[in-house]
Structure 1
Amino acid sequence: MAQDLNYRKETPSQTAGPYVHIGLAPGAAGFDIYDQELGKDIAGPNAKGERIRVEGIVIDGVGSPIKDVLLEAWQANADGIYAHPEHAGDVEDGFRGWGRVITDFETGEWGFDTVKPGIVMGRNGCPMAPHITLWIVARGLNIGLNTRIYFEDEVDANAADPVMNLIEWERRRATLLAKRSERDGQIVYRFDIKIQGEDETVFFDI
């Protein structure tokens, strides 16, 4: 038996498949399964800070929108604190700091409402600029992609951010900056994600 183990071959890799968004976000895909679907409410009604909307599109290597993507977001609250058992009582009631959305099947657009996160204390007490972490899965991707959304108006904090400073070229750093605008009285940050090609979004190996 032990000898047979030496001849086992590696299992072939697989992509996420065309139905990952239905399995992980059925309500958004039109399937009314749960009374309360996980990941729909990121900040909750009691969260303090600036209310914002983050939205964008995921683009493939030939410039076309990908329309069956699932995105998960993690973020700190406005004080830079994550909703974690170690910080029980330090975040607002109802603040999850985590959400899950899918792209629109027709347009490829995605978006979510939240509050703008604050500066987070990283390793060795080094402050990290306000950011939202994204995990992206879609048909055609063998593994999920990890990236960060930074905010273009946080100029000083971005310049001091240790992760941003690992990226050598300014043009590459720019792919992590969400652009701020206002629409119907609401603050909107635009963050388009390019999977490959010119100006490909920076992804992290974590």
Structure 2
Amino acid sequence: MYSQYKLQDDSGLLRETASQTSGPFVHIGLALEIAGFESRSDEIWQDLAKEGAEGEHIELVGHVYDGNGEAVHDALIEIWQADSHGDYISNFDNKEPFSGFGRSACALDGDFHFHTVKPGQVDFYGKPMAPHVNIAIFARGINLHLQTRAYFDDEQEANEQCPILNSVPSAERRKTLIAKKEQGDGKPRYRFDIYLQGDGETVFFDF
């Protein structure tokens, strides 16, 4: 016989429903090429900027690490950002030169990888935010996706004035939000490694 699960505690209150994480196979349904399947005709993928997109074309890459410093190979990363003028795209269209939204997985070499343009500054109640990329992280063991931001190390003046970046009280913690410029393949590349726990844990936002 199957035992009956007790849905109420002794006080008569309903018990909390068990949670379910977003891994380990979330990338199979949302990043088909990584999983070895044929892509759909209008796939949301890692190329936000196509030829003809205005602005400086860049790469954004990085690893996701767990609390033991091990790479998380089943993480799925989504980004959304303003265009080079600091404007967000209101209607996603993958056929446009710049879409503003993309998705990548860490299942192959451990890196997430995006082709995009460097975003412009966005207004925040009359104060300009430094150029940044909004990032959501989905992975095994994460009940609710994590949200963070990648700022750019060559935008020091804008970073120093950014109302959101400087809402993080510790300078050491702010460093976890800075993508570092490195030698790319034909275009500037910025590396932004994400640490889920432990030493150097990335700052996550509760928007």
**Aligned counterpart for 1:42 among listed residues 35, 41, 48:** 48
State the match for 2:5 in structure 1: none
- The separation in 2 between residues aligned to 1:46 and 1:100, in whole angstroms, is 20
CA displacement at 1:17 relative to structure 2: 2.3
Secondary structure of the 1:54 match is strand
Q: Work out whether 1:71 is the aligned partner of 2:77.
A: yes
- The separation in 2 between residues aligned to 1:43 and 1:7, in whole angstroms, is 51
More helix by share: 1
CA displacement at 1:65 relative to structure 2: 0.4
State the match for 1:58 in structure 2: 64
One-letter amino acid of the counterpart of residue 100, structure 1: R
Q: Work out whether 1:94 is the aligned partner of 2:97.
A: yes
Structure 1 runs of 4+ aligned residues shifted over 6 Å read: none
Contact map agreement 1:46 1:93 (CA 8 A) in 2: no
CA displacement at 1:165 relative to structure 2: 1.0
State the match for 1:183 in structure 2: 184
Secondary structure of the 1:183 match is coil
In structure 2, relative to structure 1, the CA distance for the partners of 1:50 and 1:102 (3 Å cut) is: same
Secondary structure of the 2:188 match is strand
TM-score by length of 1: 0.88
TM-score by length of 2: 0.88
State the match for 1:17 in structure 2: 23
Deviations 1:156-201 (A, max 9, x none): 1001111111111111000000000223432110100000001100
- The separation in 2 between residues aligned to 1:173 and 1:40, in whole angstroms, is 26
State the match for 1:144 in structure 2: 145
Contact map agreement 1:26 1:32 (CA 8 A) in 2: yes
State the match for 1:197 in structure 2: 198
One-letter amino acid of the counterpart of residue 17, structure 1: G
CA displacement at 1:47 relative to structure 2: 1.1
- The separation in 2 between residues aligned to 1:98 and 1:199, in whole angstroms, is 27
Contact map agreement 2:87 2:122 (CA 8 A) in 1: yes
Contact map agreement 2:49 2:57 (CA 8 A) in 1: no
- The separation in 1 between residues aligned to 2:115 and 2:129, in whole angstroms, is 22
Deviations 1:91-122 (A, max 9, x none): x94321000000033x3111111110011112
How many pairs were matched up? 194
Give 1:74-153 correspondences, 5 Å limit. Answer: 74-85=80-91, 93-105=96-108, 107-122=109-124, 124-153=125-154
Secondary structure of the 2:112 match is strand
CA RMSD of aligned residues (A): 1.7
CA displacement at 1:46 relative to structure 2: 2.2
One-letter amino acid of the counterpart of residue 43, structure 2: E
* Gapped regions of structure 1 (runs ≥ 5): 86-91
- The separation in 2 between residues aligned to 1:119 and 1:33, in whole angstroms, is 34
In structure 2, relative to structure 1, the CA distance for the partners of 1:94 and 1:168 (3 Å cut) is: same
Residues 147-156 or 45-54, more deviating: 45-54
In structure 2, relative to structure 1, the CA distance for the partners of 1:57 and 1:40 (3 Å cut) is: closer
